[in-house]
Structure 1
């Protein structure tokens, strides 16, 4: 943010410097300006424009009469002989800057061999960079040498395996410490990076799994590492940790808790909430704070609070790799929730220290985009930014063998970047899932370039959470009192038809493989808490039926099925809509409550099984949906959803009302699900009980 100090100067193009002077600083007046370089040369600047601003500052737009050398430290002198650093600002966004500095083939970060380690950083606007090695009680420093394309490099002889290090960067008139943004190896709370011989990692051998044929085959279950095992007395020795997440023993099996419980659900994919290093939990005092982790500090290192030994940079890598490997051995794929749209603390973010302003959306006035609400929207358009995040995706896949990426606030990112992510990841691992929150975020990125739902046709392999499905089936997300179809608002029956067809029949989406259907996720009130308000006055038994009805619509709809952990038993967060920093008592998966709501869990598990067994609920294209999905209504209240795929033909009845209805099937079949318990399996004269779901499979004797 500009205009915080009395006198500021910014290099915004190769021939423009913008100066801001407070009215309290020499009345904001200067008749002339000069630019001083490191050799003490004084370069005259021409005043092109002067304007008084509303906030008590005077703005001067100055032109430079001689060529600039990027990486030189400059100061701007006023006519009162006062000077201020000329900070490299919007110039890093220019095409000239890209041409001069982004033709990079160099590997960046620390590259280890037993005889030496090479440290390389990209920092075109830096003047000097110093490496600090922490060997025992000693700190050794080495100056990095500036090379072509803004690369700084130094080779340090000897075996540095296990040695912590940081950098000191001189840029924009100040020295700033930073860690290595390119490494996966970090000490507690990201205080230092660590040189590691990656051949010593001893990661588990990858489990070969058949590539997923269609995104619609996925049943995604969203989990938090911490929440799944933070409940007391569930038999887990290491709660809230990577190792505790996959721990199984006689007690977890007997009580059906933790990973034993996850396996029992029958889901195909875990979506794990952020596991990359985040700043909102102190790794030295892990139980003092709770946070979901949407506050990234390092994009390649993992969060230390989930490790048994946060001080050991290798331990957390090995633990998470074993977690993914164990999931794969049990037939469960793993998608990571990544937050590439903002950072926790821009001033302490290593890439910002190395090249200020380059990695964030900024306009020509030096203002930063705030579509994320965090004041520092990441810019994935510049070449080196795009390259950094693409290489991060590659690193996560190669190291951990993950199966997909879910992008938080994906609408902050640009279309070209997301398409390159899909191409990159799928070239490494066919069937890899890419999806995210395609909300149209109010950032500096033009609307036609945002990776948002409105531009879904330009992103053939990118999925989007369907907030339309949520609003129609669950009811308004902003108004807890407004009901959706599943909670009794039958006025939404026509919209319910559309979302059950993955919004492909009215052309909101052009493929069911892009549509993530959900009624609950980590954000906002749980479905149970929403219905507690929306359906006020209804008893617990009825709310259980409404929960099953909504879960059924998620699990039987065309598109991708998504369930938030605990949704399958009516999870509550005590009516707290945003529990991101609430304690374990609010966020923990409550297995006692699960036991109390066995009916919801049992029916949801059965619906998961039915979706997996019946391909007509998992059609792959909009054309298949057009030809094989149809609807009718019973008295404009009950929705009849008909699906067909080869020999798999089904009628599904959704009744969110207090009335009972009849429907005669002209063709013989079998009732394979009926939580109203009103029909014999082979009965053709069906009774659709109040608040129930009924599935009739045709042609089975």
Structure 2
């Protein structure tokens, strides 16, 4: 096919397409005025209730006792199939017969969720025409003998496309590739009738040239290889695709974009290994070698904008940006450096890929004012919620490109790449590895909307569909289908890119339970190979929605991932420590106290009478979490049984759910739901002093520090961070998400939190927010900050706190003060360090007393031992002076622990 010549005047040029259903793609399609043009409107619309099982088999929806099945085709979307009438507007039809043979086991497993109904098969003589038919409108019709329509439906196409274009999974390079004096473009669009790449000189302005692309019938990809190095230019694809509304021409960015211009209007051409895209020393700056086993990870979860937006020690142009992490003298970076010196290993960044919910330039900056319990602040924040600079970012737009709002110039496609790498490089130099929060379970939007990418290139393929062909939305948004071959490939390719090209050390997968376990395990292997090192994977293993309980595949969820080595968040420990559950509202937020904030032993005004057994059971759940929630770990329980943790109940599920400790991520606070400080505002009796509230916060952090598995903390937990009781601050603006690295204010009492998620509870929240006695003093904040650093140092001091295997935990961890005679407000444990590399001590005993009074508990096995306080407490600089008053009597094996204190003793 002839290629155009680029004229010096950059005049519009294009190639005429071969004769087809409609006109060739020309420069008018690339001008950006219309992101979509309807070429041929559909004569009628149909639900997609039938499902292609593979390239030739179709599952008919429901029973069909009689009738003739025909598959009608139209290149222009002109089919009409009125009930009781005859089909019109079709270019032709294929008859399908009921298939009576066995369906291949893999297909039967993949589509096991489909309701009963006949399977239809395309005849051998017609099979060769099927790939071409998918590039137009297809309607499956059941007719009577006279040709009258009894039923008609479109067909969900993923099964057919995965089968017909299976070699696409091995495509080495999708997107743009520059090298060898050429610029190559590859986009997977097997249902497109034609495709072209529009090349632009800049992020704005007219088109430079339009190049028709060639179709590869083996893979379903469209390709163009252009002469010259087009680095620094921009591009979009124009594709003609069939949708339920007919045939449309979409002008769309590349799903594999590595960068973009402002607001993701155009994709950027570059190669990521180009020297101009690397900061000085990028190739020679190593990541910290602090994580040998996954259990070595101690994570601080941080939002890029939160980190520096209000940090006056950061240059104004860097605040809220990637480059704030390069200002090593700032208050925020000094805070992170101190955490790294204490034992923090990883900073996990909330989404930093290109997101669809934040304007990348000219965003609103509301300046709320109002009383501690007023509603004016939230009203102002909500007025600009869709146009301000803040969102958590769980709104994927382009998975492989850095978010532009965090760059100092969103218009320059190179700038965000370089500045992202500068951020990673600076954190690595600070001694911190870098993790990314990734969201492959949904996209920002789908369908034929302008900010939809995947669905406008291969309509109906990348998202998970229900029985009528509508997109499932159980995750909040438009669910993706990573069980489909090319969506799974996109996820794997994306994570491999971030790990290799940006040196990302670990990944947190949002709602990972919506992905297949097999795809996640394939991802682990592929990413490790691409990066040339072990890359740690953790995620949310919640089991819900249309995939729940393995309805569509074996999930990457808590109970299905054991043995995989992939970590999931531990809600058992979280709920036992905090009280209640993540979804509590109203009186339940107050009455359902947890182990650290008063359950039974210090009831608040809403708690009512709780039986002593509730506290005993909860203490056992905390012990289960401290043991890494290992299925096989034996625990002497409150009712004097010894059972594996898998036999202990947690809301109808096993408390022990993991095979190995690296499969468990322990946390008491993260970005979701209220902060721990805010939870304790609900749970602790109102009269609790601010100093004691800070101590309770430290107890929660201590449970995490001592627990086997990955330790995970939300940024600001150590400075008593409050979001003014907001239960869901994803779009609550800078105001409710602030962090103060000067340690003067935790921002409690910043006004009533936004009405959308909190309004029903405002009457309960107002008296709390106006209570000045709840708000911590700078001294309280400093205490929590320094106590957290001591806890990190203690965890880092010994591999006993981060044992890599379940066998190690069973061999070395022993709880005392257990059973029916225990003091349930005190948990005591002994770790045997003999023969363990990195143990540092012959043995360690840790104790946590959550009660308001001191207690003495006995470990009979400690009689005769010589144990003393951990060196952190003997340094003279320990934050918690009360902990230094704890004692051990080797003659009796008695430990005496002051109230609300976590302490560690060691045996040299």
Normalised TM-score (structure 1): 0.88
1:274 paired with 2:351, answer yes
Structure 2 distance, partners of 1:679, 1:117, is 66
- Quote the residue 1:153 is aligned against: 223
* 1:696 partner SS: strand
Q: 1:642 aligns with which of 830, 836, 860?
A: 830
- Give a deviation string over 1:420-478, Cα, whole Å, max 9, x none: 1221223334332111000112124734611100112252x200110111011111223
Q: 2:628 aligns with which of 490, 502, 506?
A: 502
- Quote the residue 1:486 is aligned against: 596
**Cα distance, 1:75 vs structure 2:** 6.9
Q: 2:283 aligns with which of 184, 187, 205?
A: 205
Q: 2:186 aligns with which of 117, 120, 123?
A: 120
Q: 1:367 aligns with which of 456, 461, 470?
A: 470
**Unaligned residue ranges in structure 1 (runs of 5+):** 20-24, 49-60, 80-85
- Quote the residue 1:430 is aligned against: 533
**Cα distance, 1:233 vs structure 2:** 2.3
Structure 2 distance, partners of 1:536, 1:165, is 60
Q: 1:43 aligns with which of 71, 86, 93?
A: 93
Structure 1 stretch displaced more, 439-448 or 303-312: 439-448
Structure 1 distance, partners of 2:328, 2:736, is 24
Native 8 Å contact 1:337 1:405 kept in 2: yes
- Quote the residue 1:165 is aligned against: 235
* 1:146 partner SS: strand
* 1:31 partner SS: coil
- Give a deviation string over 1:290-325, Cα, whole Å, max 9, x none: 100000000001100000011111111111112111
Q: 1:677 aligns with which of 879, 882, 894?
A: 882
Structure 1 distance, partners of 2:723, 2:503, is 33
Closer, same or farther: CA 300–527 of 1 in aligned 2, 3 Å = same
Structure 2 distance, partners of 1:650, 1:577, is 38
Structure 1 stretch displaced more, 331-340 or 353-362: 353-362
Equivalent residues in 2 for 1:297-376 (5 A)?
297-347=397-447, 348-363=451-466, 365-374=468-477, 376=478
Q: 1:524 aligns with which of 627, 649, 673?
A: 673
1:601 paired with 2:764, answer no
**Cα distance, 1:246 vs structure 2:** 2.9
Structure 2 distance, partners of 1:493, 1:279, is 43
Structure 2 distance, partners of 1:676, 1:503, is 31
Closer, same or farther: CA 613–6 of 1 in aligned 2, 3 Å = same
Structure 2 distance, partners of 1:466, 1:179, is 38
* 2:251 partner SS: strand
* 2:283 partner SS: coil
Q: 1:563 aligns with which of 698, 703, 713?
A: 713
Structure 2 distance, partners of 1:522, 1:5, is 48
- Quote the residue 2:372 is aligned against: none
* 1:36 partner SS: coil
Structure 1 stretch displaced more, 5-14 or 105-114: 5-14
**Cα distance, 1:259 vs structure 2:** 4.8
**Cα distance, 1:183 vs structure 2:** 2.4
Structure 1 stretch displaced more, 670-679 or 624-633: 670-679
Native 8 Å contact 2:184 2:224 kept in 1: yes
1:396 paired with 2:498, answer yes
- Quote the residue 1:189 is aligned against: 263
Aligned residues: 669
Native 8 Å contact 2:337 2:431 kept in 1: no
Structure 2 distance, partners of 1:188, 1:553, is 44
Closer, same or farther: CA 77–546 of 1 in aligned 2, 3 Å = closer
Native 8 Å contact 1:45 1:62 kept in 2: no
Structure 2 distance, partners of 1:18, 1:677, is 78
- Give a deviation string over 1:50-105, Cα, whole Å, max 9, x none: xxxxxxxxxxx9998855324542476999xxxxxx99751232377345663644
* 1:7 partner SS: coil
- Quote the residue 1:83 is aligned against: none
* 1:358 partner SS: coil
Structure 1 stretch displaced more, 479-488 or 495-504: 479-488
* 1:300 partner SS: strand
Structure 2 distance, partners of 1:18, 1:631, is 67
**Cα distance, 1:179 vs structure 2:** 0.5
Closer, same or farther: CA 44–429 of 1 in aligned 2, 3 Å = closer
**Cα distance, 1:540 vs structure 2:** 1.3
* 1:346 partner SS: coil
- Quote the residue 2:361 is aligned against: 284
- Quote the residue 1:687 is aligned against: 896
* 1:440 partner SS: coil
Q: 2:302 aligns with which of 219, 223, 231?
A: 223
Equivalent residues in 2 for 1:645-656 (5 A)?
645-646=833-834, 647-656=841-850
- Quote the residue 1:132 is aligned against: 198
**Cα distance, 1:156 vs structure 2:** 2.3
1:239 paired with 2:319, answer yes
Structure 2 distance, partners of 1:331, 1:175, is 50
- Give a deviation string over 1:478-524, Cα, whole Å, max 9, x none: 33221211113233112221111111121421111111100000000
**Cα distance, 1:682 vs structure 2:** 7.3
* 1:33 partner SS: coil
Native 8 Å contact 1:212 1:432 kept in 2: no
Native 8 Å contact 1:234 1:258 kept in 2: no
- Quote the residue 2:253 is aligned against: 179
Structure 1 stretch displaced more, 633-642 or 89-98: 89-98
**Unaligned residue ranges in structure 2 (runs of 5+):** 1-41, 59-69, 73-78, 99-118, 144-151, 365-387, 600-614, 634-644, 647-655, 747-777, 835-840
- Quote the residue 1:465 is aligned against: 569
Native 8 Å contact 1:393 1:425 kept in 2: yes
Closer, same or farther: CA 285–390 of 1 in aligned 2, 3 Å = same
- Quote the residue 1:51 is aligned against: none
- Give a deviation string over 1:624-650, Cα, whole Å, max 9, x none: 111111112253332112122224412
Native 8 Å contact 1:267 1:332 kept in 2: yes
* 2:723 partner SS: coil
* 1:8 partner SS: coil
Closer, same or farther: CA 613–527 of 1 in aligned 2, 3 Å = same
Closer, same or farther: CA 335–256 of 1 in aligned 2, 3 Å = closer
Structure 2 distance, partners of 1:256, 1:519, is 24
Structure 1 stretch displaced more, 573-582 or 483-492: 483-492
Native 8 Å contact 2:885 2:898 kept in 1: no
Q: 1:533 aligns with which of 679, 682, 689?
A: 682
* 2:596 partner SS: helix
Structure 1 stretch displaced more, 8-17 or 201-210: 8-17
1:418 paired with 2:623, answer no
**Cα distance, 1:154 vs structure 2:** 1.7
1:542 paired with 2:692, answer yes
Structure 2 distance, partners of 1:529, 1:381, is 39
Structure 2 distance, partners of 1:245, 1:5, is 56
Structure 1 stretch displaced more, 492-501 or 590-599: 590-599
Structure 2 distance, partners of 1:293, 1:95, is 31
